[in-house]
Structure 1
């Protein structure tokens, strides 16, 4: 939990629409160490931009030829919108963060001024004309998703299910689904957001490591894997897409939950996959209002942002209103540059690539600096919808630089803060109308992906067994996408049988076959000889629990990264034994897998498996170099090395030529130059109770970023396992939890340009508990943290309001240089 950092280079906390720069985020504009130079020059001295009415804003949009933009809703009907969701009746839920940044101090963010409005178009002209405060007077809501006749609404730290049961449009049912959906207070960009009912009938969210399911009216929660910063969507096959502030599009190419089984697969290419190599921006006007505008690398010579810094709310377009060439394209908002970028997507053997479509232009731009697109959505009419927060300030006060403050003040961007729009983009001449969705299975054949998703959700929500015959019939439909939806809908109804799986595994479409592998019973025996496609084989590798059946697959296909990584997800704790099995059938493919297994074993740092792999290297000459190379691997994210204490010197060590990185890491009693073995002090009864309390707090508050396994996630949070910060002085950790930590900060030899927000809601006992937990979990042997010590530190730092910096914490207790003799 400590060191929950804010990302900058590829963030994976839940950045929001915030103007986060690709440089280290800052603790506050009054803190000279973190807010950039105090004396700044506004090189691009532009006049204060005038706030535009919706009609005026329409005139300064530049949209790709052949399209037009239309207004759906605007202030005063909605204010500061950040998220939206259509229900099956075509009504629109809009989440309004009305307390956000009314001034540079963010002084109104604790006030219950937020709301979720329910908008309706009563006359069918495409523009919302009726608004009802569905959920009112809440603090900083940040997500909404229509579901089960109501909506999931995020009001951190709670995720609520709200429903109107008497028809007045106001929620009278408010059920708490989760209590760890973000935190109360803190930076808005660090919160879980964007719940999505995906094709697998799970509800996934950005910045949140759990998945939710609704089964028979009961909410269930289980493990997943955190992803993304602000915004989440899926493609026609249920793959999840997301982004980070400075990386416009990423995806999980294989099921996210599988990788939660093996936390050491942190460098897997199959999840959190970077899709777009070229992310150059082409703003249509100077955009000086960015946090690092003073740096020559941030803006072009004429003042335009050329690289993403506030990316959020990406969308895979799945509607039927756009021309066919646009379907499946990615549309990504960049509010700092006042634009929406379009990528074309391609796929080969299960690997996805995003290509920057245009050179020198964007799908949509505006010269209005207050145009802040923060979410893109598919609609029931097949159109593309944009949530426009419409305001000058989108950088949270905790990270404002002196430069941006000067720009905001000089250009009068603080006001107004009570505007906001929803826009719709359609082709010229389009007359598409919204579709009201029912539980009819035939709707799974509709060309609009939003319609198909909604129909599937309605059938599964209702647990409507009467739909099963029609769904089975759809498995023979000419549309592969309809067959895929039918299969997943049957799975959601618990109606999948081995015969259905067998039929689907023989489907001519690889995505249907991959889905069949995913929904197959755990004990299903796959006919591997009949399958050749890498994507399907990868899904089979994930589902195959019989190691004897998995080995032949990898002997043949182990060089394919997608298949290899899929198999590795299920081999945690069995690496050495499985490597011995593969070594019996030598091939280039099996050698690739054995090398990967060796890498995982050394990353785990367990003495027994390492000794087994050394023995295998001695007895398997054809795999020796591969094994030793794998065991010599060091964590690319860490420059520190954890010693591995073996019980005795390995028998075959002398015949193996170990790389120095491995030889220096292995120690045993009596090894010349080896340090004394570590002494582990047992926890007292009181400390054990603190450990257990901290374990619970970590799971509910910290695991979303640092992950349950403690290895963190790229762009979201650094590792806690073997971190010198975790194993160092506990009084430093306590200060980080109380007041936060602003990057850059070095962890295990790697610099992270991230920031961890303070956690003021934790008591002294809570802090002592969670610090004791992370200092003793994951084979850590550091001492416990006492509650009284936390209390003393809180008293010492009672006047502090700023985040700590690495330099301050490293110099904690030292006299200033001028006083040192």
Structure 2
């Protein structure tokens, strides 16, 4: 289903010319095209510029210089790059994207992977060779082993050149669900703005992608597959801590403060915080160009002085970790192609979390007055320079989301042509010579070991990958020496993960790391120590981790609690609970604690309830109690829930009403948890005692339809659900397929949504109320802010009325209203047809207020 948030659209890249975030009404042929807020004579022209002319359009922060590294015809429609250790640059070219305003011929195999070479060493690439051609809309690339891993929906495949002619001749398919291939008969299923992208070899030797829920590992020439969480839309990067950064088009800076695997290990608590954390202080932007050429540029709130006001097509997130510009080390760079600029954010780490702030006051790091400058990706080169991928084109918004307003803008300014341009720039210091990405001689394995501690992360990461792929045990002593003796903390971290990747990590290695002065080394050591908690020497590891749980560094403290959760030990958890209670400034410690307590929540709750040191008046203690009860509720074990009620009753009797309230709050279904009633055979113990206390009784009222038993007063009798007819069941199954292809990338396959991207559909009042509302939303979109299950979500969702027919819309909505335990009535194609006809003149997305009349 179209998202009920700032949609996941953007060339799967987040390439939205329009408020991708604000995309919505597809070209509405019945409605009047909205008028631009900026008079036509005040909009600067947007002709295609030569590379030399384009260079003069930029404003760059003081101290830096922008240089052209490559341009058409050597590179065309570039969307992703990867450097080889030989200095060559591999480029994914999406040459089939929006060749005209109708997006025709997207199914044609005109995409390719090219390899650029700088033959004369002047810093500008002068040769381009096609390595893979006849691809359909490729958008992800990474060098692996002796080939290149390419994402071209629906496949992720490793391409190799086995005969040495410089062109791939062997293809090994790694996955067949890497997005949806364009099908002219079903174009709505292959929105390129929702496909996986941004392949990243992470510290843990797994390859992750943005907008995808699987990860891959290359071991001894074979591929292994694992599950992971959905991250962002376009762009994925890591810092020295191993945090993964991503974002959505209108929410530019998200980070996994907690490595996602930890938060998946307790199924009783589905909404633990710590991944997908909003790290931005705001979403305000400061473009250089007056440009209303965004999807909803006719709305006053979208622009400031004729310029984009907030992010709408953010993507390509990249942490610079090079050595050429050390003052930028660890900064995050984000592309905003719809407003023609690049943001530099300075990151601050404190109390176990991350905050990012624009490095400049009401300015951007790099901004252009050229509307066709479309930055979409970055990379740090072997030379330490920051490289920028420029799609360089006029039309950015995909046809599925192109509004009639933006289409007219594009027609009036003739933005559709020319096609097949593209530039790659590099940023270097302005006050000193910068090295070139030369072609060094091939390195021996011993030299690769030395590169593990290189000041440029490009070399460290390439060294780790190379050594892990080759798995040469003869190099283990040298790698271990880097892990134990390197003066560079990042070198030690890469060496530790390299030892892990080749199966040579020992307990002594991690124990040494746990005692290192640098937090990044201690954190890597803790993540790698978990396998040594059991067996010989495990007590020593546990004791060290318990000490680190009180470390002055909030990041270290957080990781210690996460790592100790691997024990699933109530005795250890008791000590960690005290740390979480007394460290409220570290916002994710509580959820880190809960993540390691699967089915142990009640045992810890009993222990803490009996502890006199855990006062019923202690606010932080009660927050932990509430979280523990949520885990009990999530287990849906009736005896455990009844014991919680008994503990709450005991608390009331002893004068601890606040404790009772904290326990009862944990039984109230939260977003993402099941809202199905718990059916008891009789009134549970403790209920009558709670009912006598005014404060507790108010909380019990919230549980009236959650905890039920035969004859309970005030409980609405369950209404029998009318089974679907055969025809409706067929639509349900069709809707399931359509939801997976069209909607799940944003709302998630579970329907629980994703903060910063899309709100939940599970239990959503917008899905389960009158069919009048969801039908209108799918047909025309909805603009935020919108309140869903008590939480406000900003942004808009796109319209799908032009992409989906009446039966398809009815099928998706029937699925949503009957999946995940929902019991709402199905939607009929005739209902969609009638509402489509009645709203044919509606040319903008609905507001929540407009839809409020339909209940």
Q: TM-score range by the shorter chain?
A: 0.7 to 0.9
Matched, 1:412 2:402: no
Quote the Cα distance in structure 2 between the aligned partners of 1:358 and 1:806: 34
Tell me, in whole angstroms, the C-alpha distance in 2 between the residues paired with 1:468 and 1:287. 56
Q: Which runs of 5+ in 1 are unaligned?
A: 817-821
Q: Which of 137, 142, 163 lines up with 2:139 in the alignment?
A: 142
Given the alignment of the two structures, is residue 312 of structure 1 paired with residue 346 of structure 2, yes or no?
no
In structure 1, C-alpha distance between the alignment counterparts of 2:300 and 2:504, rounded to whole Å: 60
Deviation at 1:198, TM superposition (A): 1.0
Three-state SS of the structure 1 residue aligned to 2:387 is: strand
Secondary structure of the residue aligned to 1:154 is: strand
- The 3 A distance-change label for structure 1 pair 606 and 392 is farther
Q: Select the residue among 471, 486, 494 that pairs with 1:463.
A: 471
Question: Equivalent residue of 1:385, what SS?
Answer: strand
Q: 1:75 to 1:23 in 2, by over 3 A?
A: closer
Q: Is the 8 A contact 2:647 2:686 kept in 1?
A: no
How far apart, CA to CA, are the structure 2 residues paired with 1:804 and 1:403?
10
| Residue in structure 1 matching 2:216, options 212, 215, 219 | 212
Q: Determine the C-alpha separation between the residues in 1 that align with 2:22 and 2:252.
A: 18
8 Å contact kept, 2:211–2:230: yes
User: TM-score, normalising length from structure 1?
Assistant: 0.86
1:572 Cα deviation after fit: 4.1
Residue 498 (structure 2) aligned to one of 481, 489, 496: 489
Distance 1:125 1:293 in 2: 42
Q: TM-score, normalised by structure 2?
A: 0.83
Question: Quick check: 2:231–2:246 contact (8 Å CA) kept in 1?
Answer: yes
Match of 1:594 among 600, 610, 625: 625
Residues in 1 aligned to 2:736 and 2:503: alpha-carbon distance in whole angstroms:
34
Kindly indicate whether the alpha-carbon contact (under 8 Å) linking 1:591 and 1:623 is maintained by their aligned counterparts in 2. Answer: no
Q: State the shift of 1:369 in Å.
A: 1.1
Which of 359, 367, 371 is equivalent to 2:361?
359
Comparing 344-353 and 528-537, the one that deviates more = 528-537
How much does 1:52 deviate? Answer: 0.5
Q: Which moved more, 1:50-59 or 1:475-484?
A: 475-484
CA contact (8 A) 1:114 1:139 kept: yes
* 2:224 partner SS: strand
Contact kept, 8 Å, 1:225 with 1:259, in 2: the verdict is no
Aligned to 2:345: 343
Distance 1:684 1:29 in 2: 36
Aligned partners of 1:481 and 1:255: how far apart in 2?
18
Cα distance in 1 between the residues matched to 2:144 and 2:7: 34
Q: Find the counterpart in structure 2 of residue 674 from structure 1.
A: 715
Judged with a 3 Å threshold, the aligned counterparts in structure 2 of structure 1 residues 807 and 535 are, in CA distance, closer, same or farther, namely closer
Pair 281,648 (structure 1): closer, same or farther in 2 beyond 3 Å: same
Structure 1 residue matching 2:307: 3-state secondary structure: coil
The residue matched to 1:721 in structure 2 has which SS?
coil
Aligned ranges for residues 40-79 of structure 1 at < 5 Å?
40=36, 42-45=38-41, 46-79=43-76
Q: Is the alpha carbon distance of 1:702 and 1:515 closer, same or farther for their aligned partners in structure 2, counting shifts above 3 Å?
A: farther
Q: Does 1:191 align with 2:195?
A: yes
Match of 2:174 among 153, 174, 177: 177
Give the alignment partner of residue 537 of structure 1, picking from 536, 550, 557. Answer: 557
- Matches of 1:662 and 1:349, distance apart in 2: 34
Check whether the contact 1:608–1:646 (CA below 8 A) recurs between aligned residues. Answer: no
1:153 aligns with 2:150: yes
Task: Give the match's secondary structure for 2:360.
Answer: coil
Change in Cα spacing, 1:264 to 1:184, as seen in structure 2 (3 Å) is farther
Match of 1:662 in 2: 702
The 8 Å contact of residues 183 and 701 in structure 1, kept in 2 or not, is answered as no
- Give the aligned partner of residue 693 of structure 2: none
1:20 deviation in Å? 3.7
Deviations 1:717-737 (A, max 9, x none): 43343346776899999x999
Following superposition, the deviation at residue 758 of structure 1 comes to: 9.5
Alpha-carbon distance in structure 1 between the residues aligned to 2:8 and 2:726? 42
The 3 A distance-change label for structure 1 pair 773 and 552 is farther
Check conservation: 2:546, 2:560, Cα contact below 8 A.
no
Give the drift of 1:37: 5.2
**CA displacement at 1:385 relative to structure 2:** 0.4
* Residues 586-645 of structure 1, C-alpha deviations (whole Å, 9 max, x = no match): 435554322222345557777555433222222345875245346437677699975444
Q: Could you tell me which residue of structure 2 aligns to residue 819 of structure 1?
A: none
Q: Secondary structure at the match of 1:297?
A: helix
Does the aligned pair in 1 maintain the 2:648–2:664 contact within 8 Å?
Answer: no
Match of 2:371 among 369, 372, 378: 369
Structure 2 portions without partners, runs of 5+: 183-189, 691-695
1:383 shift after superposition: 0.3
CA displacement, residues 439-492 of structure 1 (integer Å, 9 cap, x when unaligned): 421111100011101110111122222221112111222221111111111111
For the Cα contact (< 8 Å) 2:257–2:277, is it kept in 1? yes
Distance in 2 between the 1:253 and 1:659 partners? 36
What is aligned with 1:452?
A: 460
Q: Quote the Cα distance in structure 2 between the aligned partners of 1:22 and 1:731.
A: 25
Cα separation, 1, equivalents of 2:68 and 2:11:
31
Does residue 571 (structure 1) correspond to residue 569 (structure 2)? The answer is no
Say whether the 8 Å CA contact 1:243–1:249 is kept in structure 2. Answer: yes
Aligned 1:271-282 pairs, distance under 5 A: 271-282=275-286
Q: Label 1:691 to 1:503 Cα distance change in 2 as closer, same or farther (>3 A).
A: farther
Alpha-carbon offset, residue 755 of structure 1: 4.1
Superposition pairs for residues 615-630 of structure 1, below 5 Å? 615-620=646-651, 625-626=658-659, 628-629=661-662
Q: Distance in 1 between matches of 2:387 and 2:792?
A: 38
Give matches, 1:611-760, under 5 Å.
Answer: 611-620=642-651, 625-626=658-659, 628-629=661-662, 631-632=664-665, 643-656=677-690, 657-660=696-699, 662-665=702-705, 666-677=707-718, 704-707=745-748, 709-723=750-764, 742-744=781-783, 748=789, 753-755=796-798
Please tell me whether the aligned partners of residues 351 and 587 of structure 2 are also in contact (alpha carbons under 8 angstroms).
no
Q: In 2, Cα distance between the equivalents of 1:643 and 1:235? A: 44
Cα contact 1:384–1:426 (8 A) shared by 2: yes
Partner secondary structure for residue 553 of structure 1: helix
* Distance change (3 Å), C-alpha of 1:22 and 1:726: closer
Aligned-partner SS, 1:346: strand
Cα deviation per residue 1:294-340 (whole Å; 9 max; x = unaligned)?
11111123x12232111111211100111x32111112211122111
Q: Hey, what does 1:26 align to over in structure 2?
A: 24
SS of the residue aligned with 2:452?
Answer: helix
